[in-house]
Structure 1
Amino acid sequence: MDDVTGSAASPREGGIARIALAPLEDTSTFADRAYVALKEVIVTLNIYDQPAEVRLDERQLASDLGISRTPVREAMAQLEREGFVRSVPRRGVYVVRKTRAEVIELITAWAALESMAARLITQNAKDEEISQLRKMFVTFENGVPQAQLDEYSEINIRFHQSIISMSHNKVLSDLAENLFTHMRMIRRKTIGEQDRAQRSMRDHMNIIEALEARDTERAEDLVRNHALGLAAHVRLYADYLD
């Protein structure tokens, strides 16, 4: 008797029936899925507003996710390699709070990548792509009211993501991906401080004008100075990072 498992078999080859299987829709492992879930929670946690260190309980996380502790452990190892958590012997795993100096280094690196992306946009992006940037800020043409800071914060983050993706440079995008996740947390924290939102809005409009005009040098300078302005703000006012 032929050894056939399943309800559908293909024509016989050499007297042996072959079963037919549909491609798997989700080929990710439990560790992959745990990694995505944990990273999403960490990114939305706003760690810089937490009054104390945030400890990750491996047993509780495994229970919450409905999986064993092994994939959770693998996910946390990956997050540690990316700088989101740190393992302390005999104490546990904690969500990383960057120091002021570390945050400034992140922003400085981001300034280099994003300014190059701006240069590439002026050379390679389509007019339709650039026009989408202006549409993001239609709601805020008259400024950024305090009541809309959360909404503006998300659009601000999407704007910077778009600058990177519109460069159409995969290597640059890959380098920026992990860095941006760290940047997302500090951007969300600082946008409501001092007059950051209003200055951010003005900077964005100037950047968009330079990109629309295909003014390569000006666009590159404006984007770099915009990022370094955030670094200067952190240096002067981010006492919570000490």
Structure 2
Amino acid sequence: MTAMHNIDTLDGKNGFDCYIAEPEGTPEAAIVVIQEIFGVNAGIRRKADKLAEAGYLALAPDLFWQLERGIELDPDIENEMSRALDLMEKFDQDAGIRDIEATIKYARAEFGVGKVGAVGYCLGGRLAYMTAARTDSDATVGYYAVGLDELLDEKDAIANPLMLHIPQEDGFVSKATQEAMHKGLDDHPKVTLHDYPDMDHGFATEFGKRRDKENAAKADERTAEFFAQHLA
């Protein structure tokens, strides 16, 4: 079952929409699905739906609501990609983390789940790292996270397991940034990094030209095993 819910911000002064996919049975755990720069579009909703099919409560909050509510963009359309990049520049990431934290609290309070994790893509991958460092997410996964070399000083705050999927030919993440990620995080006891040779940004998207079926399946299998281990 899927539906749109409204979640209060942490300060209670506003609210934002959240796409929620529920499993057939009673979920024991929930996963927050953190959007790319394209909003809660069909691909992100499909990610949530697949998690619900696997037995999780899945919640995909509209993090761009402070800029414009209900944004849905297609990365394969040039002008929509340009708009998405513009939105990313304007987006307040600290406010986004607060909304993710509100979503985690909502899942626990409204659905009574035992554990709540998070998974994010692109900008959402960066926010997933920040979520691991700044919230009590029980387990977090980031796909093709951007700009993490700027956030490595937050690594000591990561108390629960974090997995990062890194395409080695990522057009948005330089080799130097990837090297800094490994240098800063390889010895962290809570962090696991996986590299994907020859893969570019967005290889695990559900739809569109960026998807690589084989490597998407490999990354998603690792993610499924990670959540099964840490959200049980």
TM over 0.5: no
For normalisation by structure 1, the TM-score amounts to: 0.25
More RCO (CA 8 Å, sep 6+)? 1
Pick the structure with more strand per residue.
2
Pick the structure with more helix per residue.
1
Say which one has the larger Rg.
Answer: 1
For normalisation by structure 2, the TM-score amounts to: 0.26
